[in-house]
Amino acid sequence: MVLLSRKMSALRCGVGAILLFASGASAQEKQNIPAMPSVPVHLTLQTALDLARKNSTIFQSAVTDAAVAKEDKTQARDTLLPSVAYNNSAVYTQGNGPGSTVRFIANNSVHEYISQGNVHAVLDVATFAQYRTTAAAASAAKAKAEIASRGLVVTVVQSYYAALAAQKKLEATTTAAQAGDEFFQLTQRLERGGEVAHADVIKAELQANDRRRQLQEAKLAVLNTRLDLSVLISPSFTDSFELTDDLHSAIPLPTLPDVQQRAARDNPDLRAALATVQQSNNSVLASRAGYLPSLSLDYFYGIDATRFATRTDGISNLGSSAIATLNIPVWNWGATQSKVKQAELRRTQAQRELSFAQRKLLAETQSLYAEAETASNELASLERSAQLATESLRLATLRYKNGETNILEVVDAQNTALLSDSVFQDGAVRYRVALANLQTLTGELSTP
């Protein structure tokens, strides 16, 4: 453990230096690399999930897309409402001489000043359909952000409990290495007393060497699993944290009908597919609106006079006008028809994807629940096997000391005990990950 701690400290210093140099820090900053916190941060699974959501670029990208889609919806809604603008302009036109009329009949006077407020509104089926399209797109983007969030949960849960399992395996391997050394010393004492052959000493030494190598591999596994978790939860890439040891906490498995009900109601993949179908339906409506007339209304109030003033020669320049424009589409070389066909093709594909999402949900509900149920049922058996293997090792060692068995039985018991404990830890991780996978369907993460 001391060696592992030293390796991690050296790695943190090296990573800190890399980050400083990569960020273009000054020479003084590079020489004075700040030390990592000496007091480790205590992490629960929920804390790790919160940190991972803040630091995950994939999840934050999905959240950003959802926020952008929400703003698109707001902008599309605003186009349905009347807008108000205040226009100011001065128009100077070439005349035909002093006191004469303008040369260009498009303008009313040689000097024309316009300062008017304008209320503008458009009554158009296409605009309304476009708003509904963006609203459905916002719903789809929100569901995709939820998909990214639940996928991140599975990743964090797997990494979190893999780190805990690796730590427990390291503890078991450390104990096994110490027991291997003690057993090697025991065979040496028995050989000196003439109770066992030298072959037993050789076998015990081989076993002790295997245990030392396994201990080094276990330390490496702890290092790698903690680094994997650090990448997910720490923006500064630090492993200065302690994990809450709840790997073997009892968590009940929900019933299959409950999982099916929540999955049908809260599954984000299904919500995203439904929203996409709604979006494609409104896109078809917006395309077909190209065949329909559109009406625009404008109301102006202000001045449109030869002087920039509210009164000229005692006469008020303030006035108002209203314009109603009806645009009737006649011919555009089939562009509208092409847009309708394009939107219908997208709608057909969205309907296919919805049907696939429904079938996939049914299959995944059965498969993931069966996985969780199998892992739950096996967990108690794995724990019992680990306990029995430990007891078997103790009894085999006692019998060997009393000369009632041979060294092969002891070595087999040692291997079985270590393997049983490792499989038990992996089984606990498997159950936790299976519950997290169910959460991707139901939206609820089981916690102790």
What pLDDT score does 73 carry?
92
Output the pLDDT for position 445. 57
- Its CATH class, for the domain covering 82-123+293-328, is mainly beta
The encoded tokens of residue 100 equal: 């004469």
Which of 117, 130, 127 lies closest to 80, judged by CA? 127
| DSSP three-state, residue 309 | coil
Q: Which residues of the chain have pLDDT under 50?
A: 1-4, 6-7, 10-11, 13-37, 446-448
Return the structure tokens found at 3: 């060696």
CATH class belonging to 44-80+136-290+336-442: mainly alpha
Residues 102, 95: contact at Cβ < 8 Å?
yes
Q: What's the pLDDT score for residue 100? A: 64
pTM, to two decimals:
0.79
Bridge-based pairing state of the strands 318-327 and 83-92: unpaired
Task: Give CA torsion, residues 207, 209, 211, 212, to 10 deg.
Answer: 170
Strands 83-92 and 41-43: unpaired
